[in-house]
Amino acid sequence: MGQNTDRRALVRDRFDRAVGYEGAATMQRVAAQRLFEKLQERMEGRVPLRILELGCGTGFLTEKLRNAWPQADIVATDIAPHMLERAQQRVGEGLCYRIMDAGEPDVSGSFDIVCGNLVFQWLEHPQQALARLGRLLSPGGILALSTLMDGTFQEWRTACAVEHEESGTPDYPSAASIGEWHPSLFNGGWETEASVQTFSNGRAFLRHLKETGASVPRAGYRPMQLLALRRSLARFDAQGSVVTWRLAYGCFQKPPRAGVFITGTDTGVGKTFVSACLVKAWEALYWKPLQSGLAEEAGDTPTILSLTHCAPEDCLPPAGAFQAPLSPEAAARAEGVTIDPASLALRMQEPERPMVVEGAGGLMVPATETLMMCDLAAQWGLPVVLVARSGLGTLNHTLLSLEALRQRGIAVAGVVLNGPLNPANRETITEKGKVRILAEISFQADVSAQSVEGIAQTLPSWADVRGGA
């Protein structure tokens, strides 16, 4: 604990003394602009009421937030008091400026945006910080971050390594570790970029590090011998005095309401039965947005009512119901109608109560002329429960489905396996899919309210599934 405290104090001190920051922080300005653009895109025109900024520095990002959303209540924070003073000089009054460690936020209330530019590389426990920050967001709120990553200043480090000396520049987090920084059940992900900056010579580069406060050395670093430093500088200059900045940008959205989206690896894998069990276990609402195949069956909504004995008003009516046993888009076309995407807006009744939203077929089933089921999952922002068979063939289907979800930044709450217990498949899906197995449900000869009740008692609670979200 003492070592971490000492390092935080060192970081604060270096930034507090970075009097040349404004003129030198070229890449910090670039990163602030890129992060702001990604944040605006994620907001999709929504206007935030409250914004929390971490590590505001001299206000590069703060100024953009203020100009874009002048009516928002903005709390700008930094660990370095002098940085806050410069931010206030840049942006002006009307904001709340606070000294705060981004790793240990001590603000209260609910924010629509929490953001921070090039701050997370300084935190000792970034995943814990993400969990704390996620709890500060309002439903549907956005967490937007940027960080330096491994490979930054590699040219200088290489020049020093020839002397069998370390450069002293910090060990920034790897792409693999950054990829694991993810607030629980939030949609979103990380993107990486590289930018090249040229200096007049190596001494100008080292001066730049000092002027921007980025000269905090790695733990245990011993300064280079003067002769080795001179040779390293000469080698760096001979290579063009160029450094590469490697940056990662993360944008995550908190679920807009309590609940999950149920999808399957195929048709007939037991989505409706699992939905019934979750509705019963969580006393949840149920919504089947699109129902087809009514010419051959009563539909999933009546089935849920029968299996759970929930109140009729707890089963919300579908947005579209069609006769043919086809994809919703094809079934609607067969009846000469078009599904209006606007009718598929996520239902917000009792938002703090879990709602089980059951999809049609699998992720790549067409829902409308322009949207697949996976597009709706991303649009709704609910974490996914993936239902799969337990036996032969499930590995390929399940792992492909998980990959498709993650490529789209869709959060996965877990997998439910239906069928005979298969420890090998369970282990492979857990390990290769990096996912939690929420339940293994054996074959049910009697699909009834009694069997649903029995299985519901074995399922994890909603509080357990949502965790710290």
Catalytic residues, by residue number, are 288
DSSP state of 201: S
What's the sign of the alpha-carbon dihedral 349, 351, 355, 359? positive
Q: Is 361 annotated as a binding residue?
A: yes
270 is in an annotated binding site: yes
Q: Tell whether residue 358 is among the known ligand binding residues.
A: yes
Secondary structure class of 173 (helix, strand, coil): coil
What is the Cα–Cα distance from 286 to 304, expressed in whole angstroms? 8
Please name the helix (run of DSSP H) or strand (run of DSSP E) that holds residue 43, with its range, or none: helix 26-43
Residues 6+ apart with CB under 8 A from 244: 151, 152, 153, 154, 155, 194, 195, 196, 197
Residue 359 is labelled as binding a ligand = yes
Q: In 3-state terms, what secondary structure has residue 32? A: helix
Q: What sections of 291-393 are H helices per DSSP?
A: 300-308, 328-334, 373-380
- Residue 454 counted as an annotated binding residue: no
* Largest interatomic CA distance in the chain: 85
In angstroms, rounded to a whole number, what is the distance separating the alpha carbons of residues 85 and 98?
10
Q: Which residue has the tokens 């920034």?
A: 172
Does the annotation flag 268 for ligand binding?
yes
Dist. CA 457–CA 277, nearest whole Å: 9
Answer whether 70's CB lies under 8 Å from 39's CB: no
Neighbouring residues of 175: CB distance < 8 A, sequence distance ≥ 6: 149, 150, 192, 248
For residues 465 and 185, give the distance between their C-alpha atoms in angstroms, rounded to a whole number. 9
327 is in an annotated binding site: no
271 is an annotated ligand-binding site residue? yes
How far apart CA 27 and CA 246 sit, in angstroms, is 11
**Sheet of strand 355-362: strand arrangement:** 315-316, 285-287, 355-362, 259-264, 384-389, 412-418, 437-441
269 is in an annotated binding site: yes
Contact at 8 Å (CB) between 105 and 132?
A: yes
Q: DSSP letter at 239?
A: T
The answer to whether 254 is a known ligand-binding residue is no
Strand partners, 439: 416
216 known ligand binder = no
What are the residues facing 329 on neighbouring strands? none
Binding-site members for substrate are 292
Q: Which residues are annotated as a binding site for ATP?
A: 268-273, 358-361
